[in-house]
């Protein structure tokens, strides 16, 4: 009967045998590949679990989670600190302008000066020191968003424009390009209830 069935197949039965043989070879290759992957995973699992039981492994995982929480809390704290620093930096004086001049004829050395200090919002003050033979007199004018309610003198306006960046700080007006190279400084001392200024600069 088997022979009759094989005889009824319209093609050579050897093709069926060849197809089955190829299928067996493919299954064998797939089995070997799967066993290799399982063996590799088993080695990795054994290395991971080496010297640890379930309880100690749980402790390790919990410790890692706790460290992640601490890092997140520290990150939030650092971000808050950076925001605070940015707010403080914006509120601090960071722009300046300085113009030295002679307030009266016959007096040399450019002992009088107008000094402007502004923050990030261009708010601050303009300080004008008028030097005469009788002494030094200070006048301060408040600057709000780059504007003043009081009319500024020529030197005060120039110092304000330097701080605002409208005009370039020239060497005769400002001593150097940055704070590190400033060779002159202003020393304030309180005398007889009024502020006096001694300028030790020599440009």
Written as tens digits, the pLDDT of the chain (203 aa) is 455 565 666 666 677 788 888 999 999 999 999 999 999 888 877 776 665 565 567 777 888 899 999 999 999 999 999 999 888 888 888 889 999 998 887 777 788 899 999 988 889 999 999 888 888 889 999 999 888 888 888 999 999 999 988 766 554 433 333 443 334 433 333 333 333 333 333 33
Name the domain count of the chain: 3
Please check whether residues 139 and 195 belong to one and the same domain.
yes
Q: What is the pLDDT of residue 167?
A: 66
Domain identity same for 63 and 79: yes
Residues 69 and 110 in one domain: no
The CA distance from 62 to 33, in Å, is 36
Is there a single domain that holds both residue 81 and residue 45? no
**Alpha-carbon distances of 201 from 40, 182, 185, rounded to whole Å:** 78, 10, 6
Answer yes or no: do 63 and 146 share one domain: no
Pair 37, 123 in one domain: no
* Strand pairing report for 112-118 and 95-101: antiparallel
Does the predicted model carry a pTM greater than 0.75?
no
DSSP bridge pairs for 73: none
Q: Domain containing 73: what range?
A: 56-91
SS3 191: strand
């Amino acid at each position: 009967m088997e022979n009759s069935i094989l005889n009824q197949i319209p093609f050579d039965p050897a093709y069926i045998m060849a197809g089955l043989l190829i299928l067996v070879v493919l299954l064998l290759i797939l089995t070997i590949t799967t066993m290799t992957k399982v063996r590799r995973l088993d080695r990795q699992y054994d290395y991971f679990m080496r010297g640890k039981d379930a309880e100690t492994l749980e402790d390790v995982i919990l410790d890692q989670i706790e460290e992640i929480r601490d890092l997140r809390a520290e990150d939030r704290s650092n971000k808050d600190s950076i925001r605070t620093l940015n707010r403080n930096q914006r509120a601090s004086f960071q722009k300046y302008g300085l113009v030295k001049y002679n307030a009266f004829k016959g007096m040399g050395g450019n002992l009088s000066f107008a000094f402007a200090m502004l923050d990030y919002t261009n708010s601050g003050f303009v300080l004008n020191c008028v030097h005469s033979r009788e002494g030094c007199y200070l006048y301060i004018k408040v600057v709000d968003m780059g504007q003043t309610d009081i009319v500024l003198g020529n030197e005060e306006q120039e110092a304000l424009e330097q701080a605002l960046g409208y005009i370039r700080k020239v060497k005769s007006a400002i001593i150097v390009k940055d704070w590190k190279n400033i060779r002159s400084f202003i020393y304030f001392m309180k005398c007889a209830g009024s502020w006096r200024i001694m300028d030790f600069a020599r440009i």
